[in-house]
A and B are shown apart, each in its own frame.
Chain A
Amino acid sequence: QQPVQSPQAVILREGEDAVINCSSSKALYSVHWYRQKHGEAPVFLMILLKGGEQKGHDKISASFNEKKQQSSLYLTASQLSYSGTYFCGTGLTGNQFYFGTGTSLTVIP
């Protein structure tokens, strides 16, 4: 039931863009996105609560396609500080929560 993310890993140069995808075999009622730096706790980025919703702050945004059971995270003009592992997550049954498989993103100068 764990959402699957792609790609598993990506390396970018500063200023490049990236897209991380999250796909579920079960219906998604909401999608969370978190970023985790090495050795630290995950940090919340955003929640999308409705199909068709798009959100963003700074140069990070996300979309949610409820029908396709997918969400995508867009990182524009990446900065060194964007490096880390990105996780999508969702509550599938009741208040149980599932994180995605994770995407390691490395931004190099």
Chain B
Amino acid sequence: EAQVTQNPRYLITVTGKKLTVTCSQNMNHEYMSWYRQDPGLGLRQIYYSMNVEVTDKGDVPEGYKVSRKEKRNFPLILESPSPNQTSLYFCASSSAGVGSYEQYFGPGTRLTVT
């Protein structure tokens, strides 16, 4: 089954404790992206990647890191989480350039930073 998986689905952590949210897709997609969703602000792009070793900033990259060492995986790293990073996070992938192709979303990771 074609899908995007994220882990963990729920995470409660404390300020400053490094964490990684994993994302994996099995569709051989070139493009992968991370979004955060907050009430009243909609979905905002954090980082995206056009291919292995090619990543770029989205609209709200501060406080996040990503890497793309393999085509299927695109982890999101919070080196020193803060309470303002409490949010619902979605990973997404598409076959090529995002303007012309639909995005497939993972189930989401709800992160709480206390």
Chain A interfacial positions (CB closer than 8 Å to B):
1-2, 29-30, 32, 34, 40-44, 47, 49, 87, 89-91, 94-102
Contact B43–A32 (Cβ < 8 Å): no
Known: A32-B102, A49-B100. A97 touches B48 (CB 8 A): yes
Q: How far is the CA of A90 from the CA of B69 in the complex (A)?
A: 27
- Provide 18 A-B residue pairs closer than 8 Å at the C-beta atoms, listed in order of the A residue: A32-B103, A34-B103, A40-B107, A41-B108, A42-B90, A42-B105, A87-B43, A91-B97, A91-B99, A94-B56, A95-B48, A97-B48, A97-B58, A97-B98, A99-B42, A99-B43, A99-B44, A100-B42
Across-interface contacts of A87 in B (CB, < 8 A):
42-43
Closest residue of chain B to A42, judged by CB?
Answer: B105
Across-interface contacts of A41 in B (CB, < 8 A):
90, 105-108
Q: How far is the CA of A43 from the CA of B103 in the complex (A)?
A: 8
Contact A44–B100 (Cβ < 8 Å): no
Closest 5 CB pairs of A and B: A91-B99, A41-B105, A44-B102, A99-B43, A97-B98
- The number of chain B residues with a CB under 8 A from chain A is 25
Q: How far is the CA of A43 from the CA of B97 in the complex (A)?
A: 18
Closest residue of chain A to B35, judged by CB?
Answer: A99
Q: How far is the CA of A99 from the CA of B33 in the complex (A)?
A: 13
Q: How far is the CA of A30 from the CA of B33 in the complex (A)?
A: 18
Q: How far is the CA of A48 from the CA of B74 in the complex (A)?
A: 28
Contact A42–B43 (Cβ < 8 Å): yes
Chain A CB within 10 A, most for which of B43, B44, B90, B100: B43
Q: How far is the CA of A49 from the CA of B44 in the complex (A)?
A: 22
Pick from A44, A95, A101: contact of B97, CB under 8 Å: A95
Contact B42–A47 (Cβ < 8 Å): no
Q: How far is the CA of A87 from the CA of B42 in the complex (A)?
A: 9
Contact A95–B42 (Cβ < 8 Å): no
Contact A102–B100 (Cβ < 8 Å): no
Contact B50–A95 (Cβ < 8 Å): yes
